[in-house]
């Protein structure tokens, strides 16, 4: 199948509605949609997509270098039934896929997190099995390949605890054990395991995708822009995550849509606060701007830089910067809070 070069292989998910309309991304209505978590360099993804041209495949990965290697492989193979996304699995499964939309989820050689204190970081926990079941069709499968017997036992126990799957061993596709890590482990003489979890169609909780508000969080303050604001790193709990304010920098000039040719360099001045938004399934870097709107009014708002996903904790970044400003030795007062 020849790839449509007008359609990106790497899906710009921040600009897409949730759940993503996959028939539009693939420009076709393939009967089966398959997800691969942690596709590495993409060799398994490509081989499976070549073998099943009437199915659609979505791959998830968080390592930029792996994403670039996989894109090259997909382009070289000229496939139009593969899309890749750079994001974590829990966030993607919940927000990108509708209920009953997935035929399978493949997890090849996940990080085993072998230390006991790190088991909470393992992907195949009961919570993930339950979430995945809400997106799988009845009879859909989670397919695990691993070289780690403890991880296998852990996943089996967690899958059974969910009460939603039938566990079975099956003969893996040949391509599974020809991935980069499989070849490495086989070369070291390690045994490799393959486990299939089949969703039995049982009832699951509702996992609504993230709502995408159109309004940008902001606050309006009366008073002057502080000339030399004192700043120290701050960490604030907000929503279901943390807002970390790292540093503030002065910015001269403006490319804002609000800017006009009549503005002087003085009233174009603004402060930019660099923030990290750390939530259970999503970590974002963003900028919060503090900008003069008029001689006696400031606006605190998110910059469009990075296309931030607006969550409750992201709104907390505007709150944190607003509270920092109000704590400065100035005469600032709040006119409006919208976050």
Q: Which residues are catalytic?
A: 111
Q: Which among 85, 210, 197, 67 has a CA at the least distance from the CA of 141?
A: 197
Structure tokens at 18: 């949730």
Task: Count CB-CB contacts under 10 A for residue 14.
Answer: 12
DSSP 180-219: HHHHHHHHTT---EEEEEEE--------PPPP--SSPPEE
Q: Dihedral of the CA atoms 182, 184, 188, 193 (nearest 10)?
A: -10
Helices (H) and strands (E) in the chain, counts: 9, 14
Residue 76 is inside which H or E element, if any? helix 64-77
Residues 6+ away with beta carbon under 8 Å from 18: 95, 96, 209, 210, 212
Q: Which among 171, 61, 68, 69 has a CA at the least distance from the CA of 111?
A: 61
* Whole-number CA gyration radius for the chain: 24
Task: Count CB-CB contacts under 10 A for residue 39.
Answer: 29
Does the CA dihedral 187-188-190-195 come out positive or negative? negative
């Amino acid at each position: 199948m020849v790839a449509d070069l007008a359609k990106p292989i790497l899906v710009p998910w921040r600009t897409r509605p949730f759940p993503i309309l996959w028939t539009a991304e693939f420009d076709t209505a393939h009967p089966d949609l398959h997800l691969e978590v942690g596709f590495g360099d993409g060799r398994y993804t490509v081989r499976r997509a070549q073998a099943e041209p009437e199915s659609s495949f979505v791959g998830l990965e968080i390592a930029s270098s792996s994403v670039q290697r996989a894109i090259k492989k997909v382009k070289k193979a000229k496939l139009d039934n593969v899309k890749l996304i750079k994001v974590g699995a829990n966030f993607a499964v919940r927000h990108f896929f509708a209920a009953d939309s997935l035929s399978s989820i493949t997890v090849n050689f996940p990080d085993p997190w072998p230390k006991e204190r790190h088991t909470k970081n393992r992907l195949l926990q009961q919570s993930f099995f339950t979430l995945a079941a809400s997106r799988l069709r009845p009879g859909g499968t989670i397919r695990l390949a691993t070289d780690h017997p403890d991880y296998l036992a852990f996943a089996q126990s967690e899958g059974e605890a969910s009460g939603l799957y039938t566990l079975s061993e099956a003969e893996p596709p040949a391509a599974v054990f020809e991935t980069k890590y499989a070849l490495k482990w086989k070369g070291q003489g390690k045994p490799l395991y393959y486990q299939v979890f089949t969703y039995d169609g049982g009832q699951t909780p509702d996992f609504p995708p993230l709502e995408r508000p159109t309004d940008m969080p902001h606050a309006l303050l009366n008073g002057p822009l502080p000339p030399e604001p004192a700043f120290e790193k701050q960490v604030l709990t907000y929503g279901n995550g943390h807002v970390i304010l790292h540093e503030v920098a002065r910015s001269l000039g403006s490319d804002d849509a609000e800017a006009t040719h009549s503005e002087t360099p003085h009233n174009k001045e603004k402060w930019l606060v660099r923030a990290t938004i750390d939530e259970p399934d999503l970590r974002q870097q963003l900028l919060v701007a503090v900008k003069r709107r008029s001689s006696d009014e400031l606006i605190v708002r998110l910059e469009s830089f990075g296309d931030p996903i607006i969550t409750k904790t992201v709104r907390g970044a505007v709150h944190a910067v607003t509270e920092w400003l109000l704590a400065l030795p100035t005469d600032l007062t709040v006119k409006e809070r919208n976050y």
